[in-house]
């Protein structure tokens, strides 16, 4: 699925813009067959922004079926708030509580969101729920009630109202409109399409995850990445493999479907598909050493983390085998050597009890590990540069490169992939 291209045009290739037509009240994704007059077009970078302006999704091109990442050059406060929304913060609380957690007023947070995203936090969360629900109605045979709660809606009434507002049809009517090729049949579990940016470099991301997998929790088997997860204390399994054009295939095995949207959102964060790196690629293209790497792999992104505690524990201790074996939950009968879920709610006493030094345990639990470049790299810090990573060191040596002044995480990923090939 790796893409390729040359020149500055390749960087804009990753930006998903939506064209809204003022005369019809409909917005479309790029490549739609509709041909409105240019003077009637308004462009939005997020579907949520088009919906906030009163437009509804096109029935022909189905814009809810493409990736819509947030541009990485938005302020970090906005990016952090978006990650909290993806994690379900606005399913559990209000805009006021979200702003309070970040340390700003709700009015200021809304102002930042409208300036940089074109929609308020609530409008972004609503759009995400509606689009995810529409994909479930297309891809799966889950009941309408299951779709509602899997998508993060608090009630069936709220679900019906939102779907009518966004798509101008009820959930049942939308299910009736799905196309013959939409439905995915899974051999166990639930199969979903996971939209990715054009040219997404799955081979490189899969290779990165394979070499850094937590034994017993994560594994790459052929072209499939598998990992155990915990949902409200119950074990589950994710499998990610190549899908049809513009998608990866995600199979989920869960104890229940409520809150599925957040499981899928975390999978997207792990794969790095929730952030648009076009601005970073454009900036790095001017570098005489990094420019050729970026042009060679325009579909490369920075992977994230399923669980920050996993990344921190691996960085601090160097080996998570004891933590997984003694504090994780055993899950029998899984494929490819998966044996446990990573422990939920690590605490200092438990870690010290299995032999982790007090200082290290405190660093893991207290979040100090996030100040390490190798941890910050996986937690979305755009200038984190894990310069002690062996593959990164190999890339630096081979190219005679140095740490760039900005967009260091994206530069590091390109150097790691280059170094790993050496």
Residue 155 has a pLDDT of 93
For the full predicted model, state whether its pTM sits above 0.85.
yes
140 part of a folded domain:
yes
pLDDT > 70 fraction of the chain, expressed in percent and rounded: 95
Residue 277 has a pLDDT of 87
Looking at the structure, tell me whether residues 99 and 33 fall in a common domain: no
Q: Sign of dihedral through CA atoms 15, 16, 18, 19?
A: positive
Read off the pLDDT of residues 78-112 as tens digits, 9 standing for 90 and up. Answer: 988 998 998 889 988 999 999 999 999 999 999 99
19 part of a folded domain:
yes
Cβ–Cβ under 8 Å, residues 198 and 246: yes
Does residue 55 have a pLDDT over 70? yes
Q: Is 313 helix (H, G, I), strand (E, B) or coil?
A: helix
The range of the structural domain enclosing residue 124 comes to 70-176
Read off the pLDDT of residues 130-157 as tens digits, 9 standing for 90 and up. Answer: 999 999 999 999 999 999 999 999 999 9
Residue 71 has a pLDDT of 79
Strand ranges (E), 287-405: 329-330, 340-341
Domain boundary among 176, 209, 239: 176
Helices (H), 58-167: 76-86, 89-92, 95-102, 106-116, 121-139, 144-150, 156-167
Domain boundary among 63, 88, 108: 63
Whole-number Å distance between alpha carbons of 203 and 244 = 15
Contacts of 345 (CB under 8 A, 6+ apart): none
Looking at the structure, tell me whether residues 77 and 171 fall in a common domain: yes
Does residue 118 have a pLDDT over 50? yes
Looking at the structure, tell me whether residues 104 and 139 fall in a common domain: yes
Looking at the structure, tell me whether residues 80 and 97 fall in a common domain: yes
158 part of a folded domain:
yes
Looking at the structure, tell me whether residues 52 and 99 fall in a common domain: no
Distance (Å) of CA 243 to CA 234, 239, 253, 350, 365: 28, 12, 18, 41, 37
Looking at the structure, tell me whether residues 76 and 58 fall in a common domain: no
Cβ–Cβ under 8 Å, residues 84 and 269: no
- Using N-to-C axis directions, what is the helix angle for 121-139 and 106-116, rounded to 10°? 60
Cβ–Cβ under 8 Å, residues 117 and 128: no
Residue 172 has a pLDDT of 95
Does residue 388 have a pLDDT over 50? yes
Looking at the structure, tell me whether residues 49 and 140 fall in a common domain: no
Which residues are registered as beta bridge partners of 236?
A: 229
**Residue 320 tokens, joined:** 């998570």
Residue 74 has a pLDDT of 83
Residue 303 has a pLDDT of 96
Whole-number Å distance between alpha carbons of 385 and 373 = 5
50 part of a folded domain:
yes
300 part of a folded domain:
no
Residue 370 has a pLDDT of 67
Q: Sign of dihedral through CA atoms 45, 51, 57, 62?
A: positive
Whole-number Å distance between alpha carbons of 114 and 118 = 4
Looking at the structure, tell me whether residues 79 and 157 fall in a common domain: yes
Predicted confidence band of residue 4 (pLDDT cuts 50, 70, 90):
very low
Predicted confidence band of residue 186 (pLDDT cuts 50, 70, 90):
low
Burial class (CB in 10 A: 0-12, 13-18, 19+), 37: exposed
Domain boundary among 152, 176, 200: 176
Residue 14 has a pLDDT of 45
Mean pLDDT, the chain, integer: 89
Looking at the structure, tell me whether residues 20 and 74 fall in a common domain: no
Does residue 10 have a pLDDT over 80? no
Read off the pLDDT of residues 211-250 as tens digits, 9 standing for 90 and up. Answer: 999 999 999 999 999 999 999 889 999 999 999 989 999 9
Looking at the structure, tell me whether residues 56 and 140 fall in a common domain: no
Mean pLDDT calculated for residue range 317-326? 92
Cβ–Cβ under 8 Å, residues 373 and 387: yes
352 part of a folded domain:
no
Whole-number Å distance between alpha carbons of 411 and 389 = 13
125 part of a folded domain:
yes
Question: H or E stretch including 26?
Answer: strand 26-28
Which CATH number do you get for residue 167?
Answer: 1.10.10.60
Cβ–Cβ under 8 Å, residues 224 and 218: no
Closest CA to 128 of 173, 90, 94: 90
Which CATH number do you get for residue 13?
Answer: 3.40.10.10
228 part of a folded domain:
no
Whole-number Å distance between alpha carbons of 302 and 381 = 10
CA 237, 259, 382: angle at the middle one, nearest 5? 80
CA 66, 69, 72: angle at the middle one, nearest 5? 155
For the sheet with 26-28, list strands across it: 41-44, 18-21, 26-28, 56-57
Does residue 13 have a pLDDT over 70? no
Looking at the structure, tell me whether residues 74 and 56 fall in a common domain: no
Residue 208 has a pLDDT of 96
Token look-up 């760039």 returns 404
Looking at the structure, tell me whether residues 112 and 14 fall in a common domain: no
**Residue 228 tokens, joined:** 């155990």
Which has more pLDDT, 31 or 202?
202
What number of residues does the chain have? 422
Mean pLDDT calculated for residue range 236-265? 94
Output Rg (C-alpha) for the chain, integer angstroms. 21
Predicted confidence band of residue 187 (pLDDT cuts 50, 70, 90):
low
Residue 3 has a pLDDT of 33
Number of domains in the chain: 2
């Amino acid at each position: 699925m790796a893409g390729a291209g040359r020149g500055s045009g390749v960087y804009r290739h990753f930006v998903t813009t939506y064209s809204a037509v003022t005369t019809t009240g409909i917005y479309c994704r790029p490549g739609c067959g509709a041909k409105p007059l240019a003077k009637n077009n308004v462009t939005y970078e997020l579907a949520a922004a088009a919906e906030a302006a009163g437009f509804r999704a096109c029935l022909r091109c189905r814009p809810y079926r493409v990736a819509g990442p947030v541009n990485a050059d938005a302020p970090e406060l906005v990016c952090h708030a978006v990650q909290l929304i993806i994690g379900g913060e606005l399913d559990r609380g209000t805009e006021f509580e979200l702003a309070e957690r970040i340390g700003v007023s709700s009015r200021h947070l809304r102002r930042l969101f409208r300036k940089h995203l074109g929609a308020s936090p609530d409008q972004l969360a609503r759009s995400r729920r509606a689009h995810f629900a529409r994909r479930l109605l297309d891809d799966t045979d889950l009941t309408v009630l299951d779709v509602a709660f899997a998508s993060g809606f608090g009630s069936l009434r709220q679900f019906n109202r939102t779907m009518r507002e966004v798509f101008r049809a009820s959930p049942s009517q939308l299910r009736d409109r799905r196309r013959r090729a939409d439905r995915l049949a899974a051999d166990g579990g639930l199969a979903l399409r996971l939209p990715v940016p054009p040219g997404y470099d799955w081979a490189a991301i899969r290779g990165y995850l394979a070499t850094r997998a937590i034994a017993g929790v994560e594994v790459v088997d052929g072209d499939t990445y598998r990992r155990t997860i915990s949902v409200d204390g119950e074990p589950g399994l994710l499998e990610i493999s190549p899908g049809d054009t513009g998608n990866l295939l995600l199979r989920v095995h869960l104890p229940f479907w409520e809150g599925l949207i957040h499981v899928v959102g975390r999978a997207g964060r792990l794969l790095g598909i929730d952030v648009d790196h076009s601005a970073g690629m454009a900036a790095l293209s001017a570098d005489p050493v990094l420019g050729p790497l970026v042009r060679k792999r325009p579909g490369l992104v920075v992977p994230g983390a399923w669980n920050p505690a996993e990344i921190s524990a691996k960085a601090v201790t160097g080996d998570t085998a004891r933590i997984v074996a003694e504090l994780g939950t055993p899950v029998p009968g899984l494929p490819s050597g998966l044996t446990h879920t990573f422990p939920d709610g690590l605490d200092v006493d438990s870690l010290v009890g299995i032999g982790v030094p007090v200082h290290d345990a405190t660093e893991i639990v207290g979040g100090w590990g996030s100040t390490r470049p190798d941890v910050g790299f996986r937690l979305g810090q755009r200038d984190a540069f894990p310069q002690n990573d062996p593959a990164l060191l190999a890339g630096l040596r081979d190219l005679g490169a140095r740490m760039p002044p900005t967009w260091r995480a994206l530069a590091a990923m390109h150097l790691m992939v280059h170094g790993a090939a050496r």
